[in-house]
Amino acid sequence: MAAATYAMSLDPSVSEEAAKDVEVAIAEGSNRDRLEEKAQRIRDGVEEGDDGSASASTTLIGYSQDHYTDEAASYQLIYSLPSDNGLTTKVAVQADVVWEDGDWKLDPASGTELMTSDQYQGQSYVEWGPKS
């Protein structure tokens, strides 16, 4: 749940509200510091950011667990999104979380990216959402 929630709601470059959540939701370290700095540059207009439209048009359809321990977990989140040709496409987003200060926190992919994504390759996943 933490991985899915952070994947969609935690973009500190977009708003001050999300920026305040960085310390609560992202694991402590140099990557978090660099993400905070990048977000501030975007909010200050020094660096161009994403307009958020891509995230707003995605739908989480499933997930698979790559690994899980009491201290860390890794998930592939599968999203459906509209493509340029009017059809839909699927992407797989890698979301890693660590247990820190009594809660799951996102472990950023790097100091410039919260998570990495790639085109969905057909791997099996657990469906997200209510069953029909």
* Residues 24-73: tens digit of each pLDDT: 888 999 988 888 888 788 778 887 766 555 566 788 999 999 999 999 99
Residues in the chain: 132
Residue found by looking up tokens 């991985």 in the block: 3
90-127: b or e for each residue (b if 16 or more CB lie within 10 Å)? bbbbbbbbbeeeeebbbbbbeeeebbebeebeeeebee
pLDDT tens track for 99-128 = 999 999 989 887 778 888 899 999 999 998
